[in-house]
Structure 1
Amino acid sequence: MNNPNTIQDYLEQVAPERQEAFHQLYETIKNNLPEGFEERFIYNNIGFVVPKSIFPAGYHCSPELPLPFINIASQKSHIALYHMGIYMQPAVYDWFVNEYPNHSKRKLDMGKSCIRFKKTDDIPFDLIAELMQKISVNDYIALYQSTLKK
């Protein structure tokens, strides 16, 4: 990537062999997020955030920034989907881990909030669409605030 500054720049710079899958992942997320989240170019990749108009406190690590929820990135060896809700809500995490084998023949490659797709031909877009609908903006804010209090 040559220092993209916008979502469009980022989308245009995704490696040709990943273009179709990355665009489909982007559209799947964008079209299935509950109302209230906003799309932003943030952290040098494509993000979906809780805007400051809804949650003025912003992200506790960088209060000048909106609260991050989901990011997608084309990394060196994979496409990454970062989902903070899956990291903070065990029920959603458990649902996703248990459901994944029903939607993909590949082994789940996942960290705390990062789902990695090394092969683009088997991204479970239908499962990702369902995942996007699991947490509303208000539920995410409440979850975030309760996590900070711990």
Structure 2
Amino acid sequence: MSRIIAIDYGTKRTGIAVTDELQMIASGLTTVATKDLMKFLKEFFKNENVSTLILGEPKRMSGEPSEVEKDILRFRESVEKAHPNLEIIRQDERFTSKMAFQTMIDSGLGKKKRQNKALVDEISATIILQDYLYNK
């Protein structure tokens, strides 16, 4: 089988999570500078069999798209051009940052480590991927 990758897209940093080849377990992979994201994905896709990309869909409480949505749509277009066979699915990502922060507290991470925004982004991507796997 192939892997599924999830992205918590941000204007500065992007959290990335990936499944195992059986698509059962979501694991945090890394956080990359968003400006380097396409380069990272190109290299990752060259080395791994990935069939699906889950792209976080940030919304306000009202259901309206957040400000970063226009950037995400441009990113999606770039991915579709570079990887036309890749299935791209949007997944609601409301509350994932709060859930990630709570996960860090629950796992006993100290205050200093909880301030690591890159780790929050990676955990958020993992939550997005877990939600997708649970609901698919």
Greater strand share, 1 or 2?
Answer: 2
Q: Which structure is higher in RCO with an 8 Å CA cutoff and minimum separation 6?
A: 2
TM-score higher than 0.5 here? no
Higher gyration radius (CA): 1
